[in-house]
Amino acid sequence: MEPADLRAFARRNRTAVEALKREHWARQFQEHGGQATLRAGHELYEYARRVRPDIPTERDRAEDLAHHIALKRLLDRASRALAVR
């Protein structure tokens, strides 16, 4: 790979790329429902396992759980704040 190729990739129009991604996933959702994103997530997980069979580690799992718990607390706090209104 040439350095100029890397620079061109880094400088590409991200707005256009994001628009294409949104269109792609909107179409996937229309055609296949929520299963489309679920299937994509499973495929990404399987790919990651092929590349790095050791993941997720126990540490990865613990960090993920901690993030889920923190998010749940934030959602609970937000829902209580909205209920007071």
Q: Is the peptide bond before 53 cis (omega within 30 degrees of 0)?
A: no
* Same-domain status, 47 and 60: no
Q: pLDDT of 10-52, one tens digit each? A: 999 999 999 999 999 999 999 999 999 999 999 999 999 999 9
* Same-domain status, 27 and 60: no
Number of folded domains that form the chain: 2
Task: Give the residue numbers spanning the domain of 19.
Answer: 1-53
* Same-domain status, 7 and 46: yes
Q: pLDDT of 55-64, one tens digit each? A: 999 999 999 9
* Same-domain status, 61 and 40: no
Q: Residues 6 or more apart from 39 whose CB is under 8 A from it?
A: 32
* Same-domain status, 11 and 44: yes
At residue 52, the 3 state secondary structure works out as coil
* Same-domain status, 48 and 7: yes
